[in-house]
A and B are shown apart, each in its own frame.
Chain A
Amino acid sequence: MKVTAQPSADTLTLLLDGELDASSAIVLDTELAKPDILNYRKVLIDCAKLSYISSAGLGVFISHLQRFQDANVKLVFFNMQEKVFNVFEILGLDALMTIVPSLSEAEAA
Chain B
Amino acid sequence: MRHPLLYIGFLLALLSGALAVGNLLADGGSGSASWAIWLLLLADLGTLAVLVKLFFRSPVTPRSATPAALRESEMLSLQRLAQIVQRGQTSTEVYSVLLESAVQTVRADAAWLDLDPNHTGTDDTNATQYHNITPEQVEVLRIGLRAHPSVEGEFVTNDLNRHASFLGTAQAFRSLIQLPLHGLHFNYGTLYLLKVEPGTFNREDLSILQTFTGQAVLSIENLELMRTSLANQRTQEELKIASQVQDSLIPKNLPTDNWFEISSHSLAAKEVGGDFYDFLHLPGRRLAVIIGDVSGKGVTAAFHMAQMKGIFHSLMQENPLAKNERDKFPVPSKFMAQANTALVHCLEKSSFITSSLYIIDYEQGGFVFARAGHCHTLYYHALREEVFYFDSAGLGLGIIRNESYEKHIKNQFYDYSPGDVMVIYTDGIVEARGGCGTDEYGEDRLKLRLEESYFQEAEDIKNFILADLNSFTHGFPIHDDQTLLVIKFKSAQPLPLA
Contacts and interface: CB of A to CB of B under 8 A. Distances in A.
A92 B352 contact: no
Given A56-B296, A96-B399, A91 B350 contact: no
Interface string B239-276: 00000000000000000000000000000000000000
Contacts of A66: 401
B399 A93 contact: yes
Contacts of A63: 349-350
B354 interface: yes
A59 B395 contact: no
A62 B350 contact: yes
A108 interface: no
A39 interface: no
Nearest to B352: A62
A91 B395 contact: yes
A71 to B, nearest CB: 16
B400 interface: yes
Nearest to A67: B349
Nearest to B273: A55
B129 interface: no
Contact of A55 (B352, B376, B408): B352
A91 B399 contact: yes
Interface string B322-355: 0000000000000000000000000001111010
Contacts of A56: 295-296, 350
A58 to B, nearest CB: 7
B349 A92 contact: no
B400 A59 contact: no
Contact of A90 (B295, B350, B373): B373
Contacts of A92: 372-373, 393-396, 399, 408
Given A59-B351, A62-B350, A63-B349, A91 B396 contact: yes
Given A59-B295, A62-B399, A96-B399, A91 B349 contact: no
Contacts of A9: none
Interface string B379-406: 0000000000000011110011100000
B375 interface: yes
Interface residues of B, number: 25
The main secondary structure of chain A at its interface with chain B is helix
A60 interface: yes
Contacts of B396: 91-93
A96 B395 contact: yes
Interface string B61-77: 00000000000000000
Contacts of A29: 350
Nearest to B293: A55
Contacts of B376: 90
Interface in B396-446: 396, 399-401, 408, 427, 438, 440
B128 to A, nearest CB: 31
Contacts of B400: 96
B352 A59 contact: yes
Contacts of A58: 295, 352
Given A63-B350, A93-B399, A95-B408, A55 B394 contact: no
A91 B431 CA distance: 14
A30 to B, nearest CB: 13
Contacts of A60: 350
A102 B293 CA distance: 32
Interface string A83-109: 100000011110110000000000000
B352 A90 contact: no
A62 B395 CA distance: 12
Nearest to B375: A90
A83 B401 CA distance: 27
Interface string B351-375: 1101000000000000000001111
Nearest to B294: A55
Contacts of B393: 92, 95
Q: Which has the most chain B C-beta neighbours within 10 Å: A22, A59, A83, A90?
A: A90
Nearest to A61: B350
Nearest to A66: B401
A22 B376 CA distance: 24
Query: Looking at A58, A62, A93, which has the most chain B CB atoms within 10 Å of its CB?
Result: A62
Contacts of A22: 297
A58 B295 CA distance: 9
Interface in A45-94: 51-52, 55-56, 58-60, 62-63, 65-66, 83, 90-93
A92 B408 CA distance: 8
Contacts of A65: 399
A58 B396 CA distance: 11
A96 B396 CA distance: 11
Closest 4 CB pairs between A and B?
A92-B395, A59-B350, A55-B295, A63-B350
Given A51-B438, A55-B352, A62-B352, 5 more contacts: A55-B295, A90-B373, A90-B374, A92-B399, A95-B408
Interface of A: 22, 29, 51-52, 55-56, 58-60, 62-63, 65-66, 83, 90-93, 95-96
28 contacts: A55-B293, A55-B295, A55-B427, A56-B295, A56-B296, A58-B352, A59-B295, A62-B350, A62-B399, A63-B349, A63-B350, A65-B399, A66-B401, A90-B373, A90-B374, A90-B376, A91-B354, A91-B373, A91-B396, A92-B393, A92-B394, A92-B408, A93-B396, A93-B399, A95-B395, A96-B395, A96-B400, A96-B408
